[in-house]
């Protein structure tokens, strides 16, 4: 099946697998206990029926599915700052400064740990290229879409397996986020680390199945334009399209700067396009018609479909070829994340360290959506200021790491500087933000174990 017809039915079948994942989440107790997202379940289900296992699905599906993540990630990043009121830097730093310092240390630490493990262990034992180290942060904090968006970058730099391995890294990251996060949240509840939950007020039962009771349902968006003139959802999609087009124009310029930048991805520039659209819309008084909840629905839909497609189209042959170095790198990354949550968070946050730490843990291992998922589990009604602090932190963090410019350029930097200079650069960032946190009075030697 060729052309747009093939694309259309490929997406319909992809959504069918997403729906099957939701049914399994609602029915299988194990999936409920570990809070495994329906997109992950549906993606593995599609992978099971794919060419590397049962091989019962037509080939044209995968021709589309392999391209979906790299396209949808542009929508995800373009929506990040649309409809968001951006406060002054002083306000963002006062409320989100400690969160930013912690996030920069954890994010840069993923590169530092990965590069050290790669140069000291993986290169001599398995002869992997040094660029192998970048798949950890690209997959964990960047996610499936970022990994797919980096495909041309890895190909240009002589590591064509990089995108497939980064997508598997993203899968490991999300599972680490939900399984490890939920496991530790239950321990934290028993130990009294949570502000709003204790053993008698645990995680609400309906969140496990993911089916909201009628009395607890809520509105997911708000109309700001009359549907007689334009459908509100279409209006918001059009704004996202403008942001992506601005990013596309910027991409054309960047790729002319140096031959090595020929594979530079679009998604960080789509994010910049969204910031430009938002900034211009405020004085033009157009932003008053932007509904942030609608942009979040666009982001969420794109992310769910993206994850199913990314997992369904994983190149298992490339994964198996790099199995042992991949396992070692993932183990090192997971160990770093738990060290950050259990050791650094209680010492770096002045209060509500569990809520702030678990949110960052989820974001750093399984993108922003996973961080907010874990936050909703420990602070369902946002009674702490964690959501606001995390939001301010993301405004300063996302343009650089977790899919931002550092993530997008990390392979170029590593190839250009060499791995040892890159290691020193990552260590320097960690030291810088560690000193800022210390001088700001947020860090202390002994951990904070009280909830307040």
User: Which residues, 6+ apart, have CB-to-CB distance to 410 below 8 Å?
Assistant: 111, 134, 137, 138
Judge whether 56 and 249 are in contact, CB under 8 Å: no
**Residue 329 pLDDT more than 50?**
yes
Tens-digit pLDDT profile for residues 170-222: 999 988 998 899 889 888 888 877 776 665 555 667 777 888 888 888 888 99
**Residue 452 pLDDT more than 50?**
no
User: What backbone phi and psi angles, to 5 degrees, belong to 197?
Assistant: -125, 145
Greater confidence, 246 or 317? 246
Give dist(CA 251, CA 245) in Å, integer.
Answer: 10
Mean pLDDT computed over 298-303 = 90
Judge whether 140 and 173 are in contact, CB under 8 Å: yes
Domain locations along the chain: 1-65, 66-204+234-439
**Dihedral sign for Cα atoms in the order 240, 302, 333, 92:** positive
Give dist(CA 165, CA 320) in Å, integer.
Answer: 10
Q: How far are the Cα atoms of 112, 265, 410, 413, 429 from residue 157, in angstroms, in the given order?
A: 20, 13, 12, 11, 25
Judge whether 135 and 115 are in contact, CB under 8 Å: no
**Residue 13 pLDDT more than 80?**
yes
Q: How many residues does the chain have?
A: 452
Q: In terms of DSSP H, where are the helices of 28-88?
A: 29-33, 38-48, 59-65, 68-78
Q: What is the pTM of this model?
A: 0.85
**Residue 450 pLDDT more than 60?**
no
What stretch of H or E contains 285?
Answer: none
Res. 317 pLDDT band, cuts 50 70 90: confident
Mean pLDDT computed over 326-341 = 97
Q: For residue 449, what pLDDT is reported?
A: 59
The whole-chain average pLDDT of the chain stands at: 89
Residue 98 has which token pair?
């400690």
Give dist(CA 359, CA 35) in Å, integer.
Answer: 15
**Nearest of 108, 109, 166 to residue 132 by alpha carbon:** 166
Give dist(CA 346, CA 181) in Å, integer.
Answer: 16
CA angle 396/401/404 to nearest 5° reads: 85
Give the rounded percent of residues in the chain with a pLDDT score beyond 90.
Answer: 56
User: Which residues, 6+ apart, have CB-to-CB distance to 27 below 8 Å?
Assistant: none
Res. 314 pLDDT band, cuts 50 70 90: confident
Specify the DSSP class assigned to residue 402: S
Give dist(CA 15, CA 210) in Å, integer.
Answer: 18
User: Which residues, 6+ apart, have CB-to-CB distance to 376 below 8 Å?
Assistant: 207
Helix axes 3-27, 38-48, angle to 10 degrees: 120
Q: How far are the Cα atoms of 103, 226, 244, 278, 444 from residue 79, in angstroms, in the given order?
A: 21, 22, 9, 10, 37
**Residue 142 pLDDT more than 50?**
yes
Judge whether 119 and 419 are in contact, CB under 8 Å: yes
Q: In terms of DSSP H, where are the helices of 224-352?
A: 232-254, 267-281, 292-312, 316-321, 323-339, 345-348
Residue 233 has which token pair?
């959802």
**Nearest of 54, 66, 20, 59 to residue 40 by alpha carbon:** 20
Give dist(CA 394, CA 193) in Å, integer.
Answer: 24
Q: How far are the Cα atoms of 15, 45, 276, 392 from residue 20, in angstroms, in the given order?
A: 9, 8, 38, 36
Q: For residue 430, what pLDDT is reported?
A: 97
Residue 10 has which token pair?
């490929």
Specify the DSSP class assigned to residue 299: H
Q: For residue 381, what pLDDT is reported?
A: 67
Radius of gyration of the chain (CA): 21
Give dist(CA 262, CA 276) in Å, integer.
Answer: 24
Q: For residue 283, what pLDDT is reported?
A: 93
Judge whether 393 and 96 are in contact, CB under 8 Å: yes
Residue with tokens 């990089």: 162
């Amino acid at each position: 099946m060729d052309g747009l017809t093939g694309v259309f039915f490929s997406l319909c079948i992809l959504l069918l697998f997403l729906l099957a994942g939701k049914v399994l989440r609602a029915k299988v107790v194990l999936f409920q206990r570990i809070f495994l997202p329906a997109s992950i379940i549906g993606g593995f289900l599609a992978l099971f029926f794919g060419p590397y296992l049962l091989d019962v699905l037509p080939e044209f599906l995968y021709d589309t599915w392999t391209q979906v993540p790299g396209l949808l990630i542009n929508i995800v990043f373009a929506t990040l700052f649309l409809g968001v009121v951006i406060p002054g830097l002083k306000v963002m730093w006062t409320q989100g400064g400690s969160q930013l310092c912690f996030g920069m240390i954890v994010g840069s630490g993923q590169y530092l740990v990965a590069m050290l493990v790669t140069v000291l262990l993986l290169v001599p034992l398995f002869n992997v290229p040094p660029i192998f180290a970048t798949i950890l942060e690209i997959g964990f904090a960047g996610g499936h879409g970022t990994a797919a968006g980096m495909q041309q970058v890895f190909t240009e730099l002589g590591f064509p397996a990089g995108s497939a391995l980064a997508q598997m890294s993203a899968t490991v990251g999300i599972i680490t986020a939900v399984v490890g996060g939920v496991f530790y949240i239950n321990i934290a509840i028993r130990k009294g680390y949570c502000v709003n939950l204790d053993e008698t007020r645990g995680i609400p039962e309906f969140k496990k199945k993911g089916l909201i009771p009628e009395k607890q349902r809520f509105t997911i968006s708000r109309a700001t334009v009359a549907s007689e003139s334009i459908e509100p959802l279409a209006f918001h999609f059009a704004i996202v399209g403008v942001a992506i087009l601005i990013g596309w124009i910027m991409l054309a310029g960047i790729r002319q700067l140096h031959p090595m930048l020929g594979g530079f991805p679009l998604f960080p520039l789509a994010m910049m396009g969204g910031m430009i659209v938002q900034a211009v819309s405020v004085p033009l008084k157009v932003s008053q018609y932007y509904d942030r909840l609608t942009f979040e629905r666009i982001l969420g839909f794109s992310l769910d479909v993206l994850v199913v497609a990314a997992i369904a189209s994983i190149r298992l042959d490339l994964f198996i070829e790099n199995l042992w170095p991949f396992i070692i790198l993932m183990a090192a990354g997971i160990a770093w994340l738990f060290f950050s949550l259990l050791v650094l968070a209680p010492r770096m946050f002045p209060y509500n360290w569990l809520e702030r730490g678990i949110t960052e843990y989820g974001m750093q291992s399984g993108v922003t959506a996973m961080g907010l998922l874990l936050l909703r589990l420990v602070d369902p009604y946002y009674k702490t200021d964690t959501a606001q602090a995390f939001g301010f932190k993301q405004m300063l963090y996302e343009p650089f790491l977790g899919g931002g410019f550092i993530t997008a350029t990390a392979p170029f930097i590593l190839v250009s500087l060499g791995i040892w200079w890159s290691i020193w650069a990552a260590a320097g960032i960690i030291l810088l933000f560690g000193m800022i946190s210390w001088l700001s009075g947020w860090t202390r030697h002994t951990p904070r174990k009280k909830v307040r």
